[in-house]
Amino acid sequence: MNPAIPDIGPWELALGLIFILLAGLASLAFGLRLGRDLAIGTARTFIQLFIMGYVLSIVFGLGSPWPTLAIFLVMIVSAARIVRGRVGKASAAYGMPVFLSMLASYSLVSVLVVGVIVGAKPWWEPRYFLPIAGMVIGNSMTALAVSLERLFSELRSGRDAVEMRLTLGADVNEASRDVVAAAVRAGMMPSIASLMGVGLVFLPGMMTGQILAGADPMTAIRYQIVVMLMLVGSTALCSVAAVLWVRRRCFGSGHRLII
């Protein structure tokens, strides 16, 4: 029988705000001007997670794939908007490539993990699909933002080299191959670094949650291994697809670099 999970009540949640207070004091001490972002982020964390908890408690009992897929789509749209906010404005339109790359890669990875590796029946079982999809989206979203930032910065800083290759007869792929490689590498490095340190340096969230819930540690470890592998795969798929697609939009007619 699994041990009872200690409850976290309102007072315990309020006590957790001490950590935000510490971050706020650090911001004041060093003039970081992060107080507003900390306050908004904390408020959004409380509001969004409580709303999601309420929605999930309803979705889990419906037995229909459509609410699950609707939430999945909302998560992807929200992630695409966050990426746009992180990367900022650019001469090349990248909103639709980012969204469609996310939709395709995250759907493929989530369905493969939940339906094939975990073997949930049905594959869209919300108790499995939404948490796993959320981990895929959350981790790959950050990597994609880093990749696009690097793509744009490398194209701007290396404009002369790229344009010189184009004038010498190289096509867009050849002229920007190094830029694409640097962008994808930048996005993938954090997930690879996590592979190096997992288990030795830190215990990831899914494994920790399962152990706290009373699962056998070896079962939790096997789940966590799958999660770590899927995060690397989803990061690679999404970053490569989005960077290659957006790269094409950075060149206008006559292979002219427009960014």
pLDDT digits (tens, 9 = 90+) for 152-173: 999 989 888 988 898 888 888 8
Cα separation of the two ends of the chain: 60
> The pTM is what?
0.82
Report the 10 Å Cβ neighbour count for 68: 22
Q: Which of 82-91, 106-115, 130-139 is predicted with the least confidence, judged by mean pLDDT?
A: 82-91
Question: Confidence band (pLDDT; 50, 70, 90) for 80?
Answer: very high
- At 1 the pLDDT is 43
The helix-helix angle for 205-212 and 126-157 (nearest 10°) equals 160
168: tokens are: 């010498």
Q: What integer is the mean pLDDT of 87-112?
A: 89
Tell me what pLDDT residue 5 has: 66
Judged against a pLDDT cut of 80, whether residue 88 lies above it is answered with no
